Amino acid sequence: MAGYVSEAVIRRLPGYYRYLRTLEAEGVKQISSQGLGERMKLTASQIRQDINCFGGFGRQGYGYNVAELREHIGKILGVDRVHKMIILGAGNIGRAVALSDSFPASGFQTLAIFDADPKKIGTNIGAIPVQDVETLAGFLANHEVDIAVLAVPLETSQQVTDCLVENGVSAIWNFAPVDLKLPEKVTVVNVHLEEGLEILSFKMKQMNG
């Protein structure tokens, strides 16, 4: 695998994986870069460049074996193994993540959910009981956790994050509307929902003059 891969290529990888899974489910065995590009609204050249970042998987005049390429990209993304995950916040976002079928199917296993609201503590989301966030440090001391989903209010987000980092969590999926202060060893992906709507609003304005 190449040492450096651009952020743009990384952001396209889940799309490749999703489309290849769909093709595999449809019974498609082979696909050309042109055919995959037409599905993904990318040029054939872009497809080849992206995939070549990780080695040559296709053959000229033959295209890509769909199952093999899907497997390779799954390994690149790391979804060929189970990632153990916890959810901080049992509100609407936390519930949506916990109840989604797609995350377990992709190897993301939710171990626990935490909240500070006494009305939510002790209730279940699916089959998972909501625990008191005050017990978070103790839980982390006794369980290996790969990813934390942060869906807590703005005012508590950094405090909760500090607890996660101090107890060895090195990857955070952040839904809190804040840029967290993190050491370099911790990876974060921010999902600021209001920014998505603001970008959509801007694009609508551009289209409508």
CATH number at residue 187: 3.40.50.720
Question: Of 54, 77, 100, which residue constitutes the final position of a domain?
Answer: 77
pTM for the model: 0.81
Residue 209, domain member (yes or no): no
> Residues of 23-49 as b/e, b for ≥16 C-beta within 10 angstroms?
beeeeeeebbbebbbeebebeeebbbe
Residues 42 and 94 in one domain: no
> What does DSSP say about strands 187-190 and 171-174: parallel, antiparallel, or unpaired?
parallel
Q: How many CB atoms lie under 10 A from the CB of residue 126?
A: 11
Residues 73 and 172 in one domain: no
Residue 53: pLDDT band with limits 50, 70, 90: confident
Domains: count for the chain: 2
According to DSSP H, which parts of 86-153 are helical? Answer: 92-99, 102-105, 136-142
Residue 114: what are its φ and ψ, rounded to 5°? -125, 150
Residues 55 and 122 in one domain: no
Question: Of 56, 77, 98, which residue constitutes the final position of a domain?
Answer: 77
Residues 20 and 72 in one domain: yes
> What does DSSP say about strands 171-174 and 147-150: parallel, antiparallel, or unpaired?
parallel
Average pLDDT on 170-194 reads: 92
CA dist., res. 185 & res. 208, Å (int): 44
Cβ contact 38:71 at 8 Å: no
Six token digits for residue 62? 């033959």
Residue 56: pLDDT band with limits 50, 70, 90: low
Residues 168 and 190 in one domain: yes
Residue-number span of the structural domain to which 174 is assigned: 83-195
Question: Of 38, 60, 77, which residue constitutes the final position of a domain?
Answer: 77
Residues 31 and 66 in one domain: yes
Residue 143, domain member (yes or no): yes
Average pLDDT on 83-99 reads: 96
Rg over alpha carbons for the chain, rounded to the nearest Å, is: 20
What's the CATH code of the domain at 44?
Answer: 1.10.10.10
Residues 30 and 121 in one domain: no
Q: Does residue 121 carry a pLDDT above 90?
A: yes
Residues 187 and 88 in one domain: yes
